[in-house]
Amino acid sequence: MKDGAKVSRYEQFVRDPGLETALACEVIFERPARELFAGLYQQIEQEVAERAKVLARKMDCETPDAETVRKLQTLARLAGPQTK
């Protein structure tokens, strides 16, 4: 980065880093990006879980075929322990 302004915005949680920036920070600090940007990671994790729950409800049927069962299992894993 050419100046510290962007870094300051990341540190103050005013701006979310892009993928390249997050991976660069991982390399520089030798810590996983999910740890360096824990709040952002948790927010995205929650959003993914909620979306997985919605998709699982839409796909739920009486007699699912093997492919649907596999997809529902993946969605249940993403949705977390609260899934039906």
Give pLDDT tens digits for 17-33: 999 999 999 999 999 99
Break the chain down into helix, strand, coil percent, rounded to 5.
Answer: 70, 0, 30
Average per-residue pLDDT in the chain? 88
Domain extent listing, the chain: 1-36, 48-84
pLDDT band at 1 (very low <50, low <70, confident <90, very high): low
In sign, the C-alpha dihedral spanning 64, 69, 74, 80 is positive
Is residue 75 within 8 Å of residue 59, measured between CB atoms? Answer: yes
- Of all residues in the chain, what percent carry a pLDDT higher than 70? 93
In sign, the C-alpha dihedral spanning 62, 67, 70, 72 is negative
What pLDDT score was predicted for residue 27?
A: 97
Residue 4 phi, psi dihedral angles, 5° rounding:
-85, 0
Give pLDDT tens digits for 32-42: 999 999 989 99
What DSSP character marks residue 17? P
Model pTM? 0.74
